[in-house]
Amino acid sequence: MLELRDVQVVFDGFRALDGVNLTVPEGELRFLIGPNGAGKTTLIDVITGLTKPAGGSVRFGGLDLVGRKEHQIVRLGVGRTFQTSVVFEELTVIENLDLAATFRQPLWSLARRRRGISEAVEQALTRTGLEDLAERSAGVLSHGQRQWLEIGMLLAQRPKLLLLDEPVAGMSKDERERTGELLTEIADDHTVIVVEHDMEFLRRHASTVTVLHEGKVLVEGSIDQVSADPRVQEVYLGRRKAEDAVGNRP
């Protein structure tokens, strides 16, 4: 379904991605890990059209994504979230979801008021468990709830491929758990790629893991295979303490 071949991204001489090959078949839940600066978010940016690759190809469902605008890629069925969640604070939870759900409607048809709740919005609301907050403005939501709302907005768009960038970063233990459940549920009927730092979360929920390092794919396999790999231990797990001290992505 998603196929990246020899993708190159260069920022001011720095090779953020240096020939990445990645294939994600339909229906898979794929985790993307790697030390800070490994190029995880850049990879997502390339798929979603935010960053233009210097070379290589990105194919999704047989279509070339390189050179398409962000909103066109979304219309092909690729949705994403960001590290820092961006919900529209002045709109209510329902309005946020509704805005996401109506993206395929022609602009003129939006000049009417929303009446009731569409099926897609209803489903997204139930799945994310935000029913009680439906009429509240998104500005009052907690960090965790915002992330769920973002995921809900994605779901309301019924995408084929979801890209989640660190969905549990900054979440409490309970919130992580709920997000994990939500993720497993979503993965049942969607293809999902998750960028995640949190190893415990990975062990609990990951099936297939791709490890990125210095802009290249280092290893790919199940979580046990990956964590047993000496190269991974060296570049990633072995350096975890130092990384935690440095903090998140530069």
User: Which of 66, 99, 117, 237 forms a contact with another protein (CB under 8 A)?
Assistant: 99
- Residue 50 Cβ vs another protein, minimum distance, rounded to whole Å: 8
Identify which of residues 23 and 102 has a Cβ nearer to another protein in the complex.
102
Instruction: Give the rounded distance of the alpha carbon of 162 from its chain centre.
Output: 6
In the chain, DSSP finds a helix count (H) and a strand count (E) of 10, 10
Question: Which residue type is seen at 149?
Answer: L
User: Which of 93, 153, 168, 209 forms a contact with another protein (CB under 8 A)?
Assistant: 153
Sheet architecture: strand order including 78-80: 78-80, 161-165, 191-195, 29-33, 208-213, 216-222
d(CA 108, CA 190): 30
Q: Which residues inside 22-81 make contact with another protein, applying CB under 8 A? A: 48, 69-71, 74-75, 79-80
The interface region with another protein, picked from 97-105, 203-211, 214-222, 239-247 by CB under 8 A, is 97-105
Residue 10: helix, strand or coil by DSSP? Answer: strand
- Residue 91 Cβ vs another protein, minimum distance, rounded to whole Å: 6
Contacts to another protein by CB under 8 A: 48, 69-71, 74-75, 79-80, 82, 86, 88-91, 95, 98-100, 102-104, 107, 110-114, 153, 157
